[in-house]
Amino acid sequence: MLQLIDKITLEIDPDMDKLPRSGMSEIVTKDGKTYTARVDYPKGHPKNPMSDHELEVKFRSWPRNT
């Protein structure tokens, strides 16, 4: 992971500020291919709700206080 830190650049896109908690990732490979993913509403947001199964998996993954 530490080797990747020097290869990462962060850029601010003012248009993304219009949707709080939105984000975009772009990966450019050595041969110049570009892969992009954008999320306007994170999982769990009312406009991108979790399924009952996803919610159950998340709940069961929480540590229990015993």
State the pLDDT at residue 66.
61
State the pLDDT at residue 61.
93
- Band of pLDDT at residue 46, cut at 50, 70 and 90: very high
Give me the chain's average pLDDT, please.
88
Alpha-carbon distance values, 2 to 5, 6, 11 (Å): 5, 8, 20
State the pLDDT at residue 7.
85
Residues 12-23: tens digit of each pLDDT: 888 777 777 888
State the pLDDT at residue 36.
95
Burial class (CB in 10 A: 0-12, 13-18, 19+), 16: middle
